[in-house]
Amino acid sequence: MQHVAVIGAGIIGLLTALELRRRGHRVDIRSTGVAEQATYAAAGMLAPTSEVQFGQHSLRPLMTKAASYHRTLAAELALRTEQPLGYRDTPTLVVGRDRSDLEALRQLALEQCAAGSEVEELTSAQLRGRAPTLARHVAGAMLVPRDHQVDPRTLAAAAIDALTGPGRPGDGPPVSLTTGSSVASTDEIDADQIILTAGLGTAEINGPHRVLDLSLRPVHGDILRLHVPDSALLPGEDNLLDHTVRALVRGRPLYLVPRSGGGLVLGATSREDDMTGASAGGVLTLLQDAAEILPSVRDTELREVIARARPGTPDDLPLLGPVPGDPRVIVSTGYHRHGILLSAWAAARTADLLEVDPGVPLLGDMAGELAAVDPARFTTTSRLQEVS
Ligand code: GLY
C-alpha cells in the first residue's frame, strides 16, 4: 500500500482517488472545492465518435478506449455506493441543420467509419421515429449507437460517496477529503506519491513539474440547463428527447443532452476570450440554434446559465505521466473538452503508473497511450536535460 496525495477534486481527481483506493492504496485528496469547475459545467457526453473532429487521429483511439472504461467504472461504483450513477446508454443523433451541414457530417462520418466507429445515416422516417420533436426542416441525421452520456454531477456525488464509505474487501481506507484551501507547493505534501489533477490550477502549484511547459490555456464553454415542464410533454413522456443530440447549425456546433426527470443540457461554445462568466452572444446563439433544431425548446424553463474554463492543450490531448527527474509527482491534467469521457481511463492509467518501476520502459497499450499524452511533449530538450 502506498500513501498517495491527490491534488484536485474535479472528476479526474475523484475517479483517480477511487481507483487508487480500489487497488488498496491510502489516499488523501486536497482541493479548494469539489467538482465545481469544469466538472460542474460539463454535459457528460461519453461520445468518442461524435466528439472527435477532423484530423484528431491521436485523440480518437484514446476516446474510444476511454468510453469502455465507464462501463467498468459504473460496475465498480455500484458495488460501493447506492447513489445513482447518472449513466445512460441511449444513442446519440448527429443532426445537420441544412444541406451543407449534413454534407460536412457525412464527410466526417466517412473518416469516423474508416477508423472503426459505427455511424449510420437515417432516413427521414427513421429520424422521426427516434426523435419526433426535432424540427421538420433539419436536413438529415446520423445515428451513433455507442455514444452515450453520464451526468457529471451525479457521477461526482456517487464517487464521493464511494470514496468516503466503508469500501470493499481489499480497498484502501476511506479517503480523506480536505477542501477549502489551495496547495501552494508539493513541498507541503507528505506522501509517497503526489498526483496533480488540479486542471488549470496545476500550473499554479510550485513543485518539480514546473520544469515542464504544460502549455495549458483556458477554453471557456457556456452551458445552459433547461427544464422541460410537464405541460410541454405528452402523457408518459419524461423529456423532449430520448437520445443525445449533437447538431451542426450553419457550421456552428451544438449539443442537447437530455437527463431523466426533464433536464436538458445545452452547450458547445468554445471561447478563448477573457470573460469568465457566460457570454451573452454565446447564450443567445445557443438558444437560437437549439430552437432551430428542437422548436419546443422555447417552452422550457431556463434554470441555469454558467460558464467554466476547460484546461486546453495545443494538440487537444491531455497531459498524463510522471515528472522527469521526480517520478514521485504525476501530472494528470489538460483534458480539455473530454474530461468526463477520459476520466475513468485516466484514473486507471494513473494507478497503473504506481505499479511500474520508473526506470523500466512501459509495454503494450500502456506504452502507446502514455506516449501520446506525455506531459513533457511541449518542453524543450534543453530544459529537460537540466533535470536529467
Ligand atoms: N465535451 C463537450 C464540451 O466540452 O463542450
- 142 has pLDDT over 80: yes
pLDDT band of residue 57 (cuts 50, 70, 90) is confident
Q: Using CA positions, which residue lies closest to atom 1 of ligand 1?
A: 337
Specify the residue for cell string 502507446. 368
362 DSSP assignment: P
Q: What is the pLDDT of residues 21-52, one digit of tens each?
A: 999 999 999 999 999 999 999 999 999 999 98
55 DSSP assignment: T
Mean pLDDT along residues 332-346:
97
Q: What is the pLDDT of residues 270-303, one digit of tens each?
A: 999 999 999 999 999 999 999 999 999 999 999 9
Specify the residue for cell string 454565446. 282
C-alpha cell at 276: 469568465
The pTM assigned to this predicted structure is 0.96
Q: Are strands 140-144 and 120-122 parallel, antiparallel or unpaired?
A: antiparallel
- 358 has pLDDT over 80: no
251 DSSP assignment: T
- On whether the CB atoms of residues 37 and 13 are closer than 8 A, the answer is no
Within 6 Å (CB) of ligand 1, which residues are found?
A: 43, 45, 51, 221, 267-268, 310, 337
Q: What is the pLDDT of residues 105-134, one digit of tens each?
A: 999 999 999 999 999 999 999 999 999 999
Side chain identity, residue 67? A
Backbone angles phi, psi at 31, to 5 degrees: -160, 155
pLDDT at 306: 98
pLDDT at 357: 81
Q: Which one is predicted more confidently, 322 or 58?
A: 322
376 DSSP assignment: T
Specify the residue for cell string 448527429. 94
Pocket test for ligand 1, best of 338, 340, 342, 343 (most atoms within 8 A of CB): 338
- On whether the CB atoms of residues 87 and 184 are closer than 8 A, the answer is no
Q: Using CA positions, which residue lies closest to atom 2 of ligand 1?
A: 337
Least Cα distance to 44 among 208, 209, 221 occurs for 221
How many Cβ atoms sit within 10 Å of the Cβ of residue 98? 16
pLDDT at 55: 81
- 388 has pLDDT over 80: no
Domains along the chain with CATH numbers: 3-44+152-216+315-385 (3.50.50.60), 92-145+218-310 (3.30.9.10)
CA distance 190 to 7: 12
pLDDT at 247: 98
Question: Residues of the chain with pLDDT > 70: what percent?
Answer: 100
Q: Using CA positions, which residue lies closest to atom 4 of ligand 1?
A: 337
Least Cα distance to 173 among 350, 355, 27, 31 occurs for 27
Q: Using CA positions, which residue lies closest to atom 5 of ligand 1?
A: 268
Q: What is the pLDDT of residues 165-215, one digit of tens each?
A: 999 999 999 999 999 988 999 999 999 999 999 999 999 999 999 999 999
Q: What is the pLDDT of residues 3-28, one digit of tens each?
A: 999 999 999 999 999 999 999 999 99
pLDDT band of residue 102 (cuts 50, 70, 90) is very high
**Which atom of ligand 1 lies at the shortest distance from residue 268's CA?**
5
Q: What is the pLDDT of residues 218-271, one digit of tens each?
A: 999 999 999 999 999 999 999 999 999 999 999 999 999 999 999 999 999 999
Q: Under 8 Å CB-to-CB from 281, ≥6 apart: which residues?
A: none
Give distance in angstroms: CA of 385 to centre of ligand 1.
36
CA distance 282 to 276: 13
CA distance 106 to 298: 29
